[in-house]
Amino acid sequence: MCGSPRPPSTAFYSVALRLTQRYTNGIVTEMTGEEFRNLRKTLRLTQVELAEKMGTTSNTVARWERGELQISELVSRFVQILTKLEKNKQRKPSAERKVPKK
């Protein structure tokens, strides 16, 4: 990809908010493969890239997304944290974008 990264879509924030509310309200439900895939895509990561960040294989990520492996609460929380970090990164202006005034 060329240029600056695009900010996550509003759908991304909607999914992230729903998942976060589940945990903050004490309603711990399993994350579905579809929810997991949507979060990965909104982070603009491939299965390989997410697997590398999580210390697992792309095959495992694919199996989570297809519903072949149960997504543990730990994995679910990790993806949510990664999502929040990305959201915060999008909000903060990078040092590269700042142009010094003369």
Give the per-residue pLDDT at 40: 87
Task: State residue 48's pLDDT score.
Answer: 95
pTM: 0.58
> What is the rounded CA–CA span in Å between residue 80 and residue 13?
11
Residue spans per domain, the chain: 10-87
Q: According to CATH, what is the number of the domain 10-87? A: 1.10.260.40
CA distance 57 to 31: 19
pLDDT (tens digit, 0 to 9) for every residue of the chain, 102 residues total?
455 455 556 665 666 666 666 555 555 557 889 988 988 888 888 999 988 888 889 999 999 999 998 888 778 777 778 778 777 777 766 555 555 566
